[in-house]
Structure 1
Amino acid sequence: MSHKKDEAAGAVLALLDLLAGEGPASRFEAPVEQARRRGVRGADLRMVEQVKRLALSIHARLDRRQQWSAGLTSLVDTACDLAAPHSVEDTLKIITRRARLLLGADVSWVTRPAADERLFRLHALDGHVSMLNTRIRLPWDAGLAAAVLAHRAPLWTSDYLTDDTFRHADGPDEWIMAEGLHAVLGVPLSRGTRPLGSLHVADRSVRHFSADEIALTSMLAEIGGVALERAVHLEETREDMAVLRDRALRAEAELAAARRVAATQRELLDLVLGGCDPHTLVEEFRARLGASVLLCGAHGTVVAGAGDMPEGTREAVTRAAMDAGPLGAPEPWLLEGGVWSVPLFTGSHYLGALCVHAGPALTDDAAELLRHAAGAAAVLLFLHQGSAAVAEGQFRDELLDDLLMSACRPREQLERRARRLGIGLDQPYVVVIARPDGGAQVRAVTWASAYARRRNGLKTTHEGDIVLLLPGTEAGAAARAVRHELSSLLGRPVTVSGSGPVSDPGAVLHGYREAARCLDAMIALGAVGTSASTHDMGFVGLLLSDHLDAEKFIESTIGAVLDYDEQRLTELTRTLDAYFDTGGSPTYAAEQLHVHPNTVARRLERISDLIGSDWQKPERALEVQLALRLSRIRRVLRERGESAGHPAGRQDA
């Protein structure tokens, strides 16, 4: 018995020795088998087996602690590795590589929400063998990644494709099958409560993940979340810094360009103020701009030029110089043949234009240089001729102001002032009033000054309207021309009225009053944005006129019919009366005239040939009827006047 107990004690010591030496678990069965072969039985054998079980339990705990310690060490190493600054993609690669090594898994990856769509994208795969991942998109509401982010907790499955505790999707399942994966563990990749994605590890065999493995992976995800957030902020900061750097470089370049332009402007002004002539200045422009240059006056005359302009462009340039005044702003505008023109102003007074053959497109630097060159040219023209031109413009405005005064100045004085400006007030002129809609008064006035000077007329502003006195006899045509040019320039409606002609200084005020009443009537009738004269408005114009000229109204409306009757002894006028008296019925008119209806029809056709085919329209018909009545009244008055002048004849009668 003593021998058996010694064998049992030896087996126990052997087990303790294996435990102390951290021997493998497979060797713990050998001392028990040896004791059994040496005859240990009964309670002694059960004691040895119990010691073996306790030793294996202690061994397992030690092994688990070693694994946990190794995992913590790996986490510390990972944290140290992630402490250095990395890009977002490099950070994700470190996380997935460490996760795969930490659990001894086959594949690891990170899923992150896509920025522009409701999907998840795979990032930084480690250990994969297929290329399906390059095009796979994970739906936001299916797959293990969606479940992990929805629950904000770790989830795992021992066999992904057969697990129906979460929703499946074709894309992820196809990729899992292509990779041959079974066990998959997913943990949230987050920073505090902010989810950044999910970290996944997977095996190509069925596997049950232990609590320690899940805890270690979650700790790795926490560390990775901090590093990922920092990497994202770092990339955003770098992008912001790159943007700021680009802005700083652009600002430096713009500042350098502004300094160059300022230096150029200063040099050009010094050249002008130093007393240079136009030819010297234009040569300097050509050298700086590298193109042919023409300096033109307000009337299109060439003041100076440098270089050779293309054939056929000089006429266009001089014409553009005459028309440049309405632009109202010293901005380059492109003419035909790649020639750029810049209007030259001093205040609102137009002096001329600077034209440069610089091609179909201007760089920003060239446009800026051209504007400064135009400024220097404007200063030069003003010094040479501008002060006299500005004074002349003021004299013109003051002359028209005096003509519009109710207490008119002596006629001889007005005519003398007009002759000094090259204007003959004994010649026919028309009065035109323009009223722009919605402002733009300054630009319109600038245009009016240039237009009046081009037409050798006068311009002023009166009660907020632009008033023009222009040579001519057709007030309606002048009003249409003004409306067309001014509305095209301003890009908004302009209402224009006209009256005249007038050929006497004292008649200008009457012409203005007629045109003003015509303008007010047009606006009251809803004709905003149109043009008309008192003559164009028919019987309304007759009422608006300062002098009720019924003779002119009759002649302009039915004068051709009256002349035809007088020359051919026909009855067209009487036919018109009958036609209107019977309500516009040719049949009833024929009965009243005691003629055949065909005769009335032929007479009406002849009337259409004489006064226009639209005389039966309501507006024209009203004017024709009014003219017929005025004609009858005129005839009656004339007959009475003739009778009063021949008393003898009256006694005979």
Structure 2
Amino acid sequence: MISRPETAVGALTVLELLAQEAPPSAFDAVVHDARAAGLPADQLTHIERARELALSVQALFQHREQREAGLNALVETARDLTLPYTLTALLKVITQRARRLLHLDMSYISFPAEREGDFYVHSADGQTTALTEGMPVPGTSGLAVDVQNGSAPFWTPDYLSDDRITHSEEVDGVVRAEGLRAILAVPLRHADSFFGVLYCADRKVRHFSPHEIALMTSLADLAAVAIEKSRTLNRVQAEIAELELDISAAKSGLADAARGHGAQARLTDMVLEGGDLHTLARVAAEELDSTVLVLGPDGATLAPAGEQPERLPDSLARAALDAHHNRRPVPLADGTWVAAIAAGAEDLGTLVVRPADGRAGFDERLLEHTARTAAIMQLMLRSTTIAESQIRDAFFDDLLAVPPGQSEQLEERARRLSIDLNRPHVVVVARPEGGAQGRALIWASSYTYRKGGLRSIRDGVISLLLPGEDAGAAAKEVSDALTPLLEHPVTVGAAGPFTGLDPVRPALAEAMRCLDALAALDCHGTTASARDLGFLGVLLGDVRDVAGFIGDAIGPVIAYDAQRFTQLVQTLEAYFDAGGSPTYAAETLHVHPNTVSRRLERITELLGPDWQKPAETLEIQLALRLHRVRGALRPYEDGTAGQPTR
């Protein structure tokens, strides 16, 4: 109970309670006791005033304590933000600190989305649904509009009921799902750039004080610096990692270059010491850690090294042509590499290398150097042959350019080059299509070298002068070799056989006419010679070999008549004139139909069972007419004129 003097005692009691940090109810009890004691009104007023001052001082102390706690929390947060975090971990720390700083229910951070003006939630803390992480936030609604426009904090005590905010159904749905009421949005800025928003939210209506807003703004400023530092650190780390990769690649490249230089020096020393292709293949297999195979221009194996496969890939021939044409090694699907062994346009062979265990990393430069070394060795071994090959091709061009009758010098050159045109030869022509002329020319060089022939190319047509007696068979062989390499059927014409120098140009012209005839007949991808074309060959041939055509068509019948004095040729003419009727033919010949039938059986034995097919009958009838005309114009040429017939 308060005793007298009551005012002084009451004031002292209030000071004692203030010193003891008593709760507000203790101060109210002092005033209550004074009233109960019946103190005068003026004394009671002094005691009440003392209580109010004590409560004010106590509130001031609490505010300072809260401010000190907030500042301590900011200092602690700043210290935490200096630690190395990934961006995701850093944002998680920031959202957690924001919640604890103001004792809120939820906090999250949004960043600008790819679509200009929009945002998305990157990190959140305290959420109760799965609708926040990664949630898009339209830039035209919500608190982000005001924060972005004013670059200052914006808050609302009750989001859903606040008419100042531009609402969107998407954001409002998430706010309802989370049960949020009060929301504070603070911009994340660094220097003059704005790159996100820090949100703090409570699930009850709450009015944020200036102190709380200032505290969150300071946190946002610290967070912005930390985020920018983290981004910069990530960029620097990425650049450092890239530099480390570049340095590692450079070191590896230097090591490979040093190793390649040593291997090249070893290969060069081997050449200078007189090594052969077998030594080259062995050294290359060791340096490349691979199986090595050196092939000649004809595809024959010259030098193997290492365990060779049972069979070479089917695509090897085409890859070899590509390697020669492009002057670069060509990889196959199974890991095998193919490199050209060449000197200029001259095909000296092919280098086939299969890395051990099919590994992907491969020293392509060392492969190219190995191929060049093999080319040098081939040149050393075949220098005379290569020079002769080039001279032989030049001789063929001259042979086609010099007019007939002026071949004395060519004959002398042919003797020096050991070209014997007194042997039967044929001319084969092919026109590569689809941009494959370079590949076909490389093949032709190798092919004529193997066959002992000559090659030339004019106006996109490859011409081959080859030893042989069957032009059609030579054309078929060339087509069969070129078609798989060029990946499309090749049309080939041929002419011959012939002997001597003068027939070469006419034979080439005849072969070209055959090639043009096949194109005109829409027989692309086929082969033919003048003889294969039948009567078309007689029309196309520069040398009109009528006798040869007649001999091919009905020669056995003519010979049979000459030896046995029969009338099979006459019977054939009557048979065709009668439209293929033995009865009408018998009337024309004035013999019995059975006689005609027996003669037709004999003709079948001589010409074969297919002589009455349309194509054959056409050629037989043309041969019969040519035979009759020749007999009328030159009755004594075959020595049969005046001989009896029956």
After TM superposition, the score normalised by the length of structure 2 is 0.71
Q: What residue is the counterpart of 1:123 in the other structure?
A: 123
| Residues 1:271 and 2:264 aligned together | no
Alignment of 1:36-435 (within 5 A): 36-40=35-39, 67-68=66-67, 70-72=69-71, 74-75=73-74, 77-79=76-78, 81-83=80-82, 85-106=84-105, 108-110=107-109, 123=123, 125=125, 139-140=135-136, 147-149=142-144, 152=147, 154=154, 167=169, 176=178, 185=183, 187=185, 190-191=188-189, 198-201=197-200, 206-212=204-210, 213-276=212-275, 281=280, 284-285=283-284, 288=287, 298=297, 328=324, 329=327, 331=329, 343-353=340-350, 361=358, 364-365=361-362, 368-383=365-380, 385-408=381-404, 414=410, 417-418=413-414, 421=417, 423-435=419-431
Letter in 2 for 1:273: L
CA displacement at 1:452 relative to structure 2? 0.6
Distance 1:579 1:152 in 2: 106
- Out of 624, 632, 635, the residue aligned to residue 639 of structure 1 is 632
Residue number among 464, 478, 486 corresponding to 2:474 in the alignment:
478
CA shift, 1:46, in A, is 7.0
More helix by percentage: 1
Aligned counterparts of 1:246 and 1:370: Cα–Cα separation in 2: 26
Shift of 1:456: 1.8
The DSSP-based 3-state class of the residue aligned with 1:470 is strand
Amino acid at match of 1:376: T
Cα displacement (A) at 1:268: 1.5
2:396/2:455 contact within 8 Å kept: yes
CA deviation map 1:426-482 (0-9, x unaligned): 233221223333445443322211011112211122344322112234434433433
Paired residues in the alignment total: 603
The letter for the 2-side match of 1:497 is G
Amino acid at match of 1:260: R
Query: Residues of 2 paired with 1:550 and 1:366: CA distance?
Result: 64
> What SS does the aligned partner of 1:89 have?
helix
Given that residues 137 and 171 in structure 2 are in contact (C-alpha distance below 8 angstroms), is that contact kept between their aligned partners in structure 1? no
Residues 447 and 299 from structure 1, CA distance in 2 versus in 1: closer, same or farther, beyond 3 angstroms? closer
Residues 186 and 197, structure 2, Cα contact 8 Å, conserved in 1:
yes
Contact 2:491 2:525 in 1 (8 A): yes
| TM superposition shift of 1:253 | 0.3
* Amino acid corresponding to residue 92 of structure 2 in structure 1: K
Q: CA offsets per residue over residues 547-568 of structure 1, 9 Å max, x none? A: 3445656777898999999975
Quote the Cα distance in structure 1 between the aligned partners of 2:514 and 2:339: 38
RMSD: 5.8
* 1:526 shift after superposition: 6.5
Q: How far apart are residue 343 of structure 1 and its match?
A: 4.7
Match of 1:546 in 2: 542
Q: Following the alignment from structure 2 to structure 1, what is the Cα–Cα distance between the partners of residues 570 and 404?
A: 50
Instruction: Compute the displacement of 1:493 (Å).
Output: 6.9
Which amino acid is the alignment partner of residue 543 of structure 2?
H
Q: Tell me, yes or no, if the aligned pair for 1:428 and 1:471 is still in contact at 8 Å.
A: yes
* Number of the residue aligned with 1:449: 445
Alpha carbons of structure 1 residues 478 and 229: separation in structure 2 relative to 1, 3 Å: farther
Summarize the Cα distance change of 1:330–1:227 in structure 2 as closer, same or farther, 3 Å threshold: closer
Letter of the 2:462 partner, please give it: I
Secondary structure (helix, strand or coil) at the match of 1:404 reads helix
Please give the alpha-carbon distance, in whole angstroms, between the structure 2 residues aligned to 1:563 and 1:334.
59
Q: Is the 8 A contact 1:119 1:137 kept in 2?
A: no
Letter of the structure 1 residue corresponding to residue 270 of structure 2: L
Name the stretch that deviates more: 244-253 or 354-363.
Answer: 354-363
Per-residue deviation, 1:206: 3.3
Distance 1:468 1:494, change over 3 A: same
Shift of 1:546: 2.0
Cα distance in 2 for residues equivalent to 1:626 and 1:9: 151
Change (3 A) 1:414 1:33: same
Q: CA deviation at 1:389?
A: 1.5
Report the CA distance shift for 1:403/1:349 in structure 2 as closer, same or farther (over 3 A). Answer: same
Match of 2:151 in 1: none
| Paired residue type of 1:510 | P
Inter-partner Cα distance in structure 1 for 2:40 and 2:63 = 33
* Residues 324/93 of structure 1: CA separation in 2 closer, same or farther (3 Å cut): closer
User: Paired residue for 2:497?
Assistant: 501
Identity %: 35
Distance, in Å, in 2 between the alignment partners of 1:76 and 1:342 is 69
Structure 1, unaligned runs of 5 or more: 581-585
Contact in 2 for aligned 1:339/1:360 (Cα 8 Å): no
Q: For residues 561 and 136 of structure 1, what CA distance do their matches in structure 2 show?
A: 102
Query: What letter is aligned with 1:504?
Result: G
Q: CA deviation at 1:506?
A: 0.8
